[in-house]
A and B are shown apart, each in its own frame.
Chain A
Amino acid sequence: MKQMKSSRLGGLIKKTSLAMIAGAFVLSASIAQADIRPAVVYDAAGKNDKSFNEAVFNGITRFMNDTGIAVTELEPTNEAQMEQSLMKLAQRGYSPIVAVGFTFAGPLTVAAEAYPDTSFTLIDMVVGLDNVQNVIYKEHEGSFLVGVLAAMNSKTGTVGFVGGMGIPLISRFECGYKQGVKWQDSSMNILAQMTGSTYLAWNNPSKGGEITRSQVEAGADVVYAAAGGTGIGVYQTAADLGVLAIGVDSNQNYMQPGTMLTSMYKKVGQAAYDSYEAAMNGTWEGGFRVLGLAEDGVGWALDEYNRDLVSAEMEARVNEARNAIIAGDIVVHDYMADNTCPI
């Protein structure tokens, strides 16, 4: 399977480089719509992490189905390979190249400086170069909403949070969640822990499960995970112990129906889709895209898997908070603005 894929990739590269040579002789300026060669590079959690990377993958699959254009995918397994992957793709003429995740900030700076004519789209982090489009999300706003829902569902007065790697981005989820919980009920107790301090923390379901268990033993009955693949262990343990869990990035409600309260979705797939589409239409540009509740870049998932868990009263209350945030009546503090959380 993998071999097949790589030989197909090899063929594609050969074809595209031939096309490039031919193009240099024949065409000079007329670039048709279908001429983009989009690519994507996933982060260490891998494209099937059921969460962040998979959300991008789903968006890309949708793009491929809609347009028939193939998107080349790479999945580096460590940080050293990230720069190589970006350089290789840029060198081979792929553009735009979507880099998934904050770990790409360093490697992408190098690649974008080396290939100023290539368009790069970076999700979750900021690189201040003209050929880089930075897509960042107001995770604190979405996390605020699931915090409200968590507080309404807790019977013990204690809720939990399990983060992946201890970085400011994850603290942003945590801080937004805490604010939501406290907004709903200021007497609530919140337990918050990170899985680890290296990239292994994104793929450690055993430890995620163990942290969840320790939080449940300390009284928590709703646990929100923002931990990539580690979250799988959190949701499993929550189901085993009969408490509620909240998913992240993708809509993960289907993973443990009955104990998944909701998911804080982040439309990263849409960002990749938009980036490719803009390049097709010739409207791609560098700079910032900041997506929050108002742009529906983040939000809370309600579908057939968690419909029974969310009462009409809860739904109304969460939507009330949502509207207040969009209207500016509630200002959710962004942890990354000053690296502090006022709660």
Chain B
Amino acid sequence: MSDLFLTTVLTFDASVRVCIPLIFASMAGLFAERSGVVDIGLEGKLLMSAFIAASAASVFGSPWLGLIAGMFASSVLAMIHGFASITYKGNQIVSGVAINILASGLTMILTLAWFKSGGITPTLQGNERFLSITLPGVDIIDHIPILGVIYRELISGHNILVYLAFAIVPLVWWVVYRTRFGLRLRAVGENPKAVDTAGLSVEGLRYKALLIGGILCGIGGVYIATAYNAQFTKEMTAGQGFIALAALIFGKWHPYKVLAACFLFAFLQALAIRLQGVVIPGIGEIPVQLIEATPYILTVILLAGFIGKAIPPKASAQPYIKEL
């Protein structure tokens, strides 16, 4: 029984590690899409910031400089996306896909140019990366049954970016629902014309949303390369940006629901690892591929209207054209 309990706690612990890039990327997507810009380029931004962060951390020997560089790189890509789809009113999906391709190609070329090895950066040693933090009081609480295990395994022992991710979700909620900027952000995604009539800049608001998104997505990439792993490797984001997008839709563009969706999808990934090869009597071996595909399947079912309804911001994917 205590074995099963420990396994459950450890699976949740793994889910926490896996869901961090999803949280940052989906919160980034939330800002963009709430402002009416579809952001399919999350994957590319994660990849680019992972690469720049790993490079900067390796060259300057500090993960904090890596963090700043990663956020900057991701923001640059977000601004390119904005320039194409806001200023020049291009198709947002096409622009987003271009961001993904650009990141995939650039990371290869730049690793070749900077480190003479295509698609891989030097390994980060010791405190060149974000290391896990042991929270105070682990020794004391450890003696309490159940709570001790949960505190030691699940709550303590993560790196700073993990705690930041969980702190950022309520902050996003507060900004979106309790500030003047948030009100305007939601308005510009629903009815940009009304915002324009009120004398506010639609383009300005959308650029701001994309910039915030760029910074948030950047932290997600930094986590992947300098906290979760210790270097950048080719295509290391492995589709996390797309799962984050699915979580955003599954969470109906609401910060807390999106957080729950991220955690659910991460939990499914962690579960798939632990269930691989396990034979359940009467059923046989569990098909891991099915568990891995569940996030996408759930999102499709949701979009088809079987479990509730996912209604995107009304002006989503539409460039705003002022009448002359």
Contacts and interface: CB of A to CB of B under 8 A. Distances in A.
A196 B239 CA distance: 13
Interface string B105-116: 000110111000
Interface in B212-242: 224, 228-231, 233-236, 238-239
B123 interface: yes
A187 to B, nearest CB: 20
Contacts of B224: 206
Interface residues of A, number: 31
A203 B233 contact: yes
A207 interface: yes
Given A205-B229, A205-B233, A48 B18 contact: no
A193 B112 contact: no
A193 B289 contact: no
A297 interface: no
Interface stretch (A62-70, A211-219, A279-287): A211-219
Contacts of B111: 48
A303 B34 CA distance: 57
A46 B109 CA distance: 13
B168 to A, nearest CB: 20
Contact of A205 (B10, B236, B239): B236
A200 B123 contact: no
B273 A1 contact: no
B234 A213 contact: no
The dominant DSSP class at the A interface is: helix
Contacts of A203: 233-236, 238
A233 B237 CA distance: 13
B184 interface: no
Interface string A180-205: 00000000000011101100100111
Contacts of A93: none
Contacts of B239: 200
The CB with the most chain A CB atoms within 10 A, among B10, B239, B274, is that of B274
B117 interface: yes
Contact of B118 (A46, A192, A193, A255): A46
B120 to A, nearest CB: 5
Interface in A21-64: 45-50
Contacts of B308: none
Given A1-B109, A1-B112, A233-B229, A206 B236 contact: yes
A236 B277 contact: no
Given A232-B233, A233-B229, A48 B117 contact: yes
Given A48-B118, A196-B292, A204 B112 contact: no
Contacts of B235: 200, 203
Given A209-B228, A232-B233, A193 B273 contact: yes
A164 interface: no
Contacts of B277: 192-193
Given A2-B112, A236-B229, A48 B276 contact: no
Contacts of B234: 45-46, 48-49, 203, 229
A274 interface: no
B27 to A, nearest CB: 19
B14 interface: yes
Nearest to B238: A204
B123 A236 contact: yes
Interface of A: 1-2, 45-50, 75, 192-194, 196-197, 200, 203-207, 209-211, 213-214, 217, 229, 232-233, 236, 255
Given A2-B108, A200-B238, A229-B120, 20 more contacts: A45-B234, A48-B118, A48-B234, A50-B120, A192-B277, A193-B277, A200-B239, A203-B235, A205-B229, A205-B233, A205-B236, A206-B18, A207-B238, A210-B17, A210-B269, A211-B273, A213-B14, A214-B14, A236-B123, A236-B230
Interface of B: 10, 14, 17-18, 108-109, 111-113, 117-120, 123, 224, 228-231, 233-236, 238-239, 269-270, 273-274, 276-277, 288-289, 292
27 contacts: A2-B108, A2-B109, A2-B112, A46-B118, A47-B118, A48-B117, A75-B118, A192-B277, A193-B276, A194-B276, A203-B234, A203-B235, A204-B236, A205-B229, A206-B228, A207-B238, A209-B229, A211-B273, A214-B14, A214-B270, A214-B274, A229-B234, A232-B231, A236-B123, A236-B229, A236-B231, A255-B123
